[in-house]
Amino acid sequence: MPNLRSLVFALSTVPGALLWAQAAPRATTIRIPDLSWVGPQVAAARAGAATALAGVGPAVAGIAPALAQARVGLVQARAALEAARIRMDAYGFGPVFAMGDDYERIPPEPWAQQDPADLLYRDARRELNRGRYATAADLFANIYTKYPRSTYAGDAYYWQAYALSKRDSDEARRKALEVLKRQREKAPGASTRSDADALTARIQGELAQSGDPGATAAIASIAQTATTPVVAGVPPAPPARAATTISTGSGRGKRDRCDSDDDMQSAALNALQQMNPDKALPILKRVLARRDEGSQCLRRKAVFIVSQNEGTEAERILLDVARSDPDLEVREQAVQWLSQVNSPGAVAALDSILRSASDPALQDKAIFALSQQDSPKARQALRDFALRPSVSDDLREKAIFWISQGDDPERLSFLKGLYGQLHTEELREKVLFSVSQVEGRESQQWLLGVAGDANENIELRKKALFWVGQSDLPVSELFTIYDRLANREMKEHMIFVISQRDEKAAVDKLIQIARTETDRELKKKAVFWLSQSDDPRVAEFLASLLEKP
C-alpha cells in the first residue's frame, strides 16, 4: 500500500490523470451491515404492550377492546421509531446519504412573486421535481438568459447544472461543469455557491470513474486540500436559500453546519475512495490527523469513508480515532464501525473504551461493537461489564440484552447467576427477557421457577410467566401451572397469558375457567379474554351464558 509521500510524488511527476485513470472504474458501494438484530427489541416493545393489556379488565368491557388496540398501536409505533433510531445511531446514516450517490435535491419554494422570472422559475422547479431533467435544465437556463437581473438568476445556474447532472451522461455532466464555472464568474454571491462546489466535486468524481483524465486529476487535487488545517476563524452561516437535501428513505430535512463548507472536499474524498481505496486511505488518514477546530465535520465524514475499507490499515486508523480524536462524535462513529472489524486488536480497544470511558454514549457504542465480535474475549468483556454495580443501570441493561443474543454457550448460565446478584427490578426484568431469548427447555424451566417463587416480587413473577408463555412451552403445561397457583393476581395474569396462545386448547381452557372457576373476578377475566377471540366456538359459549338466569 503506497504511503502519502509516494502518492504526492507520483502526482507531481506524472500527470495525475494517468495515475488515476489506470484504476478500473468502480461502482459506488456502501457497506451497510445486517440489521436483523433490531427484531428482538421491537418484539420486546410489542410484548410490553401485550403485558399492559392484562390490566384492562371487564369493568370497562365496553371500551376495553378499543383501549387495548390503541395501546398496542402506540407501543408498536414507539418500537418502530426505536428501531429506526437504532439504525441511525448505530451506523451513522447521515454521512452515508450525505456523501453517497443515492440523494436528491429540490429547489426552494418561489420567494419573489413580483419578479419577472417568477413564473419561469415555478415551471422549471415543477419540471425538475417531476424528473423531467432536460426540460428543467432548459427552463433554468432561460431564467438567467432572459432575466439576468432577476433574484432567481444566480441560483438558476446551479439548478440547471443539477438537472444536467441527473441525466446520467458524460456529455451532460461536462456541460453541467461549464454552467457551474459560469456561476462562479457571473454570480459569485449566489446562495447556492457552496452547494455548487460540492456538486462540482461530485460530477468530477462521476466523470473520473468513467475514465476522464481531467476530472481524475481534479478529484485528486481537491482531496489533497482536505489534509490542510484551516486557519482559525468562524465559518460563514449557510445561505438562506441553500439547496435542500433529500436523503433517500429518510425524508426531507434541514442541512446542519457539517454539510456546507466542507461538502466539496468530502465529495472528492468519497469519489477518490470509489476509484481507488488504497490510494484514498493515506489521504483519509491525514484528514483524521487534523486537529484544527474547523475539521471536525470533515473528520466525521472521513471516518465513514475509512469504514468502507477492509484490511488492517483501515482497522488501525479506526482504532486510533476511537482512542484519540478530540471530538466525541468522531470517536463514537469510529467505535460504531469497529463493530464490523473482527480482530483481537479491536476487541482489546473496545474493552478498554468500555472500562475507561467516562461518556455513556461512547460506552453504549462500545457495548454494541463488542456484541458484534465473534470472540470469547468480547463476550467475556460484556459479562464483566454487566457485573459492575458502579455503572449505570441503563448501560448494564444494554450489556445484558446483547449477552442474550448470538450463540454464546455460557450465556444462559451467566444470566441465571446474574439475576440473583441484581437488586433493581428493571435490571432483573431485563434478565428475564434475555433468558427468554435463549431457546430450550432449561430457560423455560428457569422462568417457570421464577414465576412460581412466592418470595419473588409479584411483577417479576408476572413478567417471567409472560415470557415463558411466549415460548414454545406446551400450552398444557401452562394449564397445570394455573391449577397450582395460589395467588389470585398470578392466576389472573395466567388467564391473560393463556389468551395470547393460538392453540385451540387455549380457548378450551378459558372456556373451562369461565364455566367452573369459583372466583367471580377470575371468571369475568376469562370471559373478557374469550370475547377477544375469533374462535367460532366462543360465540356459542357466550350465547349460552346469556341464556342463563
Distance (Å, rounded) from C-alpha 252 to C-alpha 265?
A: 23
**H-run or E-run covering 379:** helix 376-386
- Give the model confidence (pLDDT) of 391-416 as tens digits: 999 999 999 999 988 778 899 999 99
- In three-state secondary structure terms, 211 is coil
pLDDT at 8 > cutoff 80: no
Residues of the chain with CATH 1.25.10: 439-549
The maximal CA–CA distance of the chain, rounded, in angstroms, is: 103
pLDDT of amino acid 265: 85
- Looking at residue 58, its pLDDT comes to 41
pLDDT score recorded for residue 233:
52
Q: Are 209 and 26 in contact (CB under 8 A)?
A: yes
3-state secondary structure at position 221: helix
Would you say residue 83 has pLDDT above 60?
no
Whether the Cβ atoms of residue 345 and residue 327 lie closer than 8 Å to each other: no
| 178: pLDDT strictly greater than 60 | yes
Q: 328-361 burial, b for 16+ CB within 10 Å, e for fewer?
A: ebbbbbbbbbbbbbeeeebbebbbebbeebeeee
Cα gap 38→463, rounded to integer Å: 21
What does the pLDDT look like over 269-298, one tens digit per residue?
888 888 888 888 999 999 999 988 778 888
Contact 267, 300 (CB under 8 A): no
**How many whole angstroms separate alpha carbon 131 and alpha carbon 150?**
25
All three cell numbers of 350, joined, read 473496545
Residue 279 C-alpha cell reads as 490510494
Measure the CA angle with vertex 406, ends 401 and 410; round to 5°. 85
Which distant-in-sequence residues (6+ apart) come within 8 Å of 154 by Cβ?
A: 144, 183, 186, 187, 189, 190, 191, 192
Q: How far apart are CA 541 and CA 128, in angstroms?
A: 63
What CATH number is given for 439-549 in this structure? 1.25.10
* pLDDT at site 258: 55
Full-model pTM: 0.65
What are the pLDDT digits (tens) for 59-77? 433 444 444 445 444 544 4
Supply 259's cell numbers. 454539510
CA-nearest of 134, 156, 162, 161 to 143 is 156
For the segment 369-389, the average pLDDT, to the nearest whole number, is 92
List pLDDT tens digits, range 193-202.
Answer: 888 988 998 8
